[in-house]
């Protein structure tokens, strides 16, 4: 879609199209911009879990709720390096470390994170981190350490945001994204569906993402992992066709980005995931754990991708 024609109405019209018509167009866009057989596979590790001061209603790591997640200190560099090596052996091409911080810690803890990034890069993996808000100096130091991607999600549309998080603002989020960009780090930014948001809220999110210049290189679409003890524990699962719809719309709006079918695959039928790949999803989390919740078994994922005629980017690079 032309940049100039990107209005709320045009995004709403796209999102509202007949599902198969939308998927057909998205599949065409996907094939023009990407190898349709390649799926980028990232592995995720929580290097500092729980006890977070933010009140994100979806998150089991928030100290505001009782979700049974035990708070831990920062992992050792060696343990992270070992986990990254295992992920690479399992077929991951990117390793992402997550910390339950409101904003990245300073001092020795930050230096330790920089060392983790060095170890990930030394293994020949792409590196990604998600550490909360950053100041410009931290962003620059992450880049110097070799960080390829920074994940920082907008989560939902601006209007719905304050019903999900009260301890920070949408503009705080946009500011960190700008700092990441200015430091020369690639942006991984997306959201969550299934938090009780309306179609309009999803359209607002897609518009906000597609208005970023340049587009985020990586756009994670998470479906809510509803965790007991969090305020969103009882949210119903998102209708499958809504998931496909949002993936297809994201693909058309951001043709060159990796669209990630992120959290929530464990509860998603294989046929729905297959339709998401057809509609332009080309990146997943590989490994049996996300941050604190389970993800499909790697062997089952490898077999599933093979049945679809897809292969991980690491495997694709070898053929």
Q: Smallest Cα–Cα separation from 102: which of 160, 172, 149, 157?
A: 172
Residue 58 is classified by DSSP as: T
- Kindly name the residue from 168, 202, 251, 260 that is annotated as catalytic: 260
- As measured in angstroms, the least distance from the Cβ of 169 to ligand SAM is 13
Shortest spacing between CB 44 and ligand SF4, in angstroms:
13
Counting contacts by CB under 6 A, is residue 95 touching ligand SAM? Answer: no
On the 0-12 / 13-18 / 19+ scale of CB atoms within 10 A, 264 is buried
Considering the rule CB under 6 A, would residue 62 count as an interface residue with ligand SF4?
Answer: yes
Q: Is 189 a catalytic residue?
A: no
Asked if 276 is an active-site residue, the reply is: no
Q: Which of ligand SAM, ligand DTB, ligand SF4, none sits in contact with 273, Cβ below 5 to 8 A by type?
A: none
To the query of whether residue 188 is one of the catalytic residues in this protein, the response is yes
Candidate list 164, 177, 185, 225; residue touching ligand SAM; CB under 6 A: 225
Please identify which of the residues 56, 143, 168, 202 carries the catalytic annotation: 56
Give min distance, CB of 16 to ligand DTB, in A: 25
- State which residue, 23 or 44, has the beta carbon closest to ligand SAM: 44
Task: Work out whether 282 is an interface residue with ligand SF4 (CB under 6 A).
Answer: no
DSSP state string for 181-240? HHTTPEEE--EEE-SS--HHHHHHHHHHHHTSSSPPSEEEEEEP---TTSTTTTPPPPPH
Concatenate the DSSP letters of all residues of 109-130 into one string.
Answer: HHHHHHHHHHHHHHTT-EEEEE
Q: Considering CB distances under 5 to 8 angstroms, the limit depending on partner class, which of ligand SAM, ligand DTB, ligand SF4, none binds residue 287?
A: none
Residues 119-158, interacting with ligand SF4 (CB under 6 A): 132
Q: At its nearest, how many Å lie between ligand SF4 and the CB of residue 132?
A: 6
How many residues of this chain interact with ligand SAM, rule: CB under 6 A?
A: 18
Please tell me whether residue 59 binds ligand SF4 under the rule CB under 6 A.
yes
Concerning whether 41 is annotated as a catalytic residue, the answer is no
Cα 161–chain centre separation: 17
| Inter-CA distances, 197 with 64, 90, 159, 191, 263, Å | 21, 36, 10, 11, 17
Does 131 help bind ligand DTB (rule: CB under 6 A)? no
Query: 52 an active-site residue?
Result: yes
**2 Cβ neighbours under 8 A, 6+ residues apart:** none
Determine the Cα–Cα distance for residues 175 and 168; give it in Å rounded to an integer: 12
- Which helix or strand (DSSP H or E) is residue 297 part of? none
> Is residue 295 a contact residue for ligand SAM (CB under 6 A)?
no
Give the catalytic positions in this structure: 52, 56, 59, 96, 128, 188, 260
């Amino acid at each position: 879609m032309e940049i100039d024609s990107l209005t709320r109405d045009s995004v709403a019209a796209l999102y509202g199209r007949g599902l198969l018509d939308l998927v057909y167009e998205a599949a065409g866009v996907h094939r023009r911009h990407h190898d349709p057989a390649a799926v980028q596979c990232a592995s995720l590790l929580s290097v500092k879990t729980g006890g977070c001061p933010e009140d994100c209603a979806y998150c089991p790591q928030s100290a505001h709720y009782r979700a049974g997640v035990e708070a831990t200190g920062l992992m050792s560099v060696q343990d992270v390096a070992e986990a990254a090596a295992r992920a690479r052996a399992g077929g991951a091409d990117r390793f992402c470390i997550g910390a339950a911080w409101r904003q990245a810690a300073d001092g020795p803890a930050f230096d330790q994170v920089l060392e983790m990034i060095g170890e990930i890069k030394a293994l020949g993996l792409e590196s990604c981190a998600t550490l909360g808000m950053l100041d410009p100096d931290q962003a620059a130091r992450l880049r110097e350490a070799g960080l390829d991607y920074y994940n920082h999600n907008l989560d939902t549309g601006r209007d719905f945001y304050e019903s999900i998080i009260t301890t920070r603002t949408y503009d705080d989020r946009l500011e960190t994204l700008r700092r990441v960009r200015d430091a020369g780090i690639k942006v991984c930014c997306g959201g969550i569906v299934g938090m009780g948001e309306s179609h309009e809220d999803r359209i607002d999110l897609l518009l906000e993402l597609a208005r970023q210049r340049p587009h985020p290189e990586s756009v994670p679409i998470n479906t809510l992992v509803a965790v007991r003890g969090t305020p969103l524990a009882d949210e119903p699962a998102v209708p499958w066709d809504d998931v496909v719809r949002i993936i297809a719309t994201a693909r058309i709006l951001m043709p060159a980005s990796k669209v990630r079918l992120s959290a929530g695959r464990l509860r998603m039928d294989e046929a729905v995931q297959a339709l998401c790949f057809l509609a332009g999803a080309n990146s997943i989390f590989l490994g049996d754990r996300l941050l604190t919740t389970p993800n499909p078994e790697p062997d089952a994922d490898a077999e599933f991708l093979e049945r679809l005629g897809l292969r991980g980017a690491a495997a694709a690079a070898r053929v």
